Homo-oligomer: A and B are copies of this chain.
Amino acid sequence: MSAKQRKLPLYEQIKNKMLMKINHGDWTPGENIPSESQLMERFNVSRTTIRQALRDLAHQGIIETRRGAPSRVSISPKGKPRSQGVFHHEMGNEMTVKVLRTGVVTNYEALRRLNLGKSEQVFFLERLRLADRKPIAYQQLFLPFEIGKVVKDYAEIEFDIFPKLGREDIHYSTIKEQVNAAVATQYEADLLGIFPGEPLVDIDRLTLGIEGSPIEYSRTKYRTDSFHYKVEIGG
């Protein structure tokens, strides 16, 4: 048990452990999870506590419970978006990535967003995201140094760094995104194969870890023709 989790309520700790099992693939979507009594034994807590954890997960749509039947992990479209289906990115088929630059920098805005001191350093990644070999986005990624060194090599070949973080037991709990519009600079236009002055969707993203501390800050600019940002509210 990580030291940071010790101050969290029991049911929150258990929730996090269950989330890890799911993100890890220990419990796969559609699969039954252990019964409440088994979980009571495994975590050595009362049924009340187990049920509070399960209820929260069920309410978030991460698991499904039915009276009389075993509870199971929800079958959500892809690995990620078990965030009650309010959110959707649409992309291409073959998603790849090209790393343009990597290093350790002192970026004021990134440090502020990552809750780090002004004199600290962050791991920096500049990447081009490609869909079917065609560039669709230019991304600047800032990671706390401790996390950066973990994904360093991985980021050069994989489109999404979160699976890697998951394998290293670094999990996220919340993603905050802010969407804006921008026009392409000469530099960005060259990279993305468009003209300067064309519009780009600019997404400012902050990812928080299980304990609520930031684990990633990124800024991505997408071509408007290959990318859609959809939100569905209610329903």
Chain A positions near chain B (C-beta within 8 angstroms): 59-60, 81, 83-84, 86-87, 172-183, 197-202, 208, 224, 228-235
Beyond A59-B59, A197-B197, A199-B199, whether A87 also contacts B231 by CB under 8 A is yes
Q: How far is the CB of A32 from chain B (nearest CB, A)?
A: 24
**Residue of A177, A224, A231 with most partner-chain B CB within 10 A:** A231
Contact A199 B183 (CB under 8 A): yes
Bound together, the chains give a CA A60 to CA B235 distance in angstroms of 9
Contact B224 A175 (CB under 8 A): no
Contact B235 A178 (CB under 8 A): no
Contact A179 B229 (CB under 8 A): yes
Beyond A59-B59, A197-B197, A199-B199, whether A83 also contacts B234 by CB under 8 A is yes
Beyond A183-B197, A183-B198, whether A178 also contacts B87 by CB under 8 A is no
